[in-house]
Amino acid sequence: MFDPAAAMFMLALTLRAATQVISPNLQLDEAVDVILEKGVTNTLLLPIMIHRMAHNPGLAKLSRTTLRQLNCVSSPADGKLLQSLGERMPTVKLTKIFTVPEMAPLISIAACDPRTARPKGAIGWPSLTTELRIVAVNGEEVPRGKTGELAVRGAGLMLGYWNRPAETAKAIREGWLHTGDAAYMDEAGEFFVIGKLRPGQAGNSIQE
């Protein structure tokens, strides 16, 4: 269990009475083997696991097995990697889920179409439980296409850091969590994370 998105993923499967395969000590190179052995249809993996999967000799077998959906969680995974993966597994639906520990269960979600090249850092659109905006240093929202800081609010926002009121006040201002991520929103309303504005308690760094 590595973040709130994983917890909600498991809850959703439980409510659907789905069989869950949990591998607490799963090694990076074992993901493909577990999917093949257990007949997994839907899985949730970190970007580094997907990177290893893309270089696993058994990858081609997944297109001919039970796997139907692969979810990449926690950070803006490399678009080229996911596009390459989608081309090699055309029957598998790829989804990117962006989240930070301070906000449950997730911030945004994006379906990945291997036929369409995506700009780097695409994290998609806000989930049903969150609001996103891009703000300047003074907290004012910036125009679309302009880089600023990613801010998020929603029912799943944490109350604060345990016994760290100063850090909490810095991260959460007027109900908005300031993640420290450099981001922008395009004209279509999709969000993109392109780096870090500063070291801080909130947010994820981009993983190549």
Burial per residue of 19-50, b for 16 or more beta-carbon CB atoms within 10 angstroms, e otherwise: eeeeeeeeeeebbbeebbeeebebbbbbbebb
Query: CB atoms < 10 A from the CB of 184, how many?
Result: 20
In a domain, 201, yes or no: no
In a domain, 206, yes or no: no
Which residue range forms the structural domain that includes residue 141?
4-196
In a domain, 208, yes or no: no
What is the three-class DSSP state of 208?
Answer: coil
In a domain, 115, yes or no: yes
- CA dist 113 and 94 (Å) reads 7
| pLDDT tens per residue across all 208 residues of the chain | 445 656 666 666 666 667 877 777 777 667 788 888 888 888 888 877 888 877 777 777 777 778 888 888 866 656 677 777 877 888 888 888 898 889 988 899 988 876 676 777 889 999 999 999 999 988 999 999 999 999 999 999 999 999 999 999 999 999 999 999 999 999 999 999 988 885 543 433 333 3
In a domain, 203, yes or no: no
Tokens 């990449």 correspond to 72
In a domain, 205, yes or no: no
Closest CA to 191 of 151, 136, 164: 151
Query: Strands 148-154 and 130-135: what pairing?
Result: antiparallel
Q: Which H or E run contains 191?
A: strand 191-196
DSSP annotation of 3 reads S
In a domain, 18, yes or no: yes
> How many folded domains does the chain comprise?
1
Question: CATH number, domain at 92?
Answer: 3.40.50.12780
What residues contact 80, with CB distance under 8 A and at least 6 apart? none
In a domain, 207, yes or no: no
Phi, psi at 130, each rounded to 5°? -130, 160
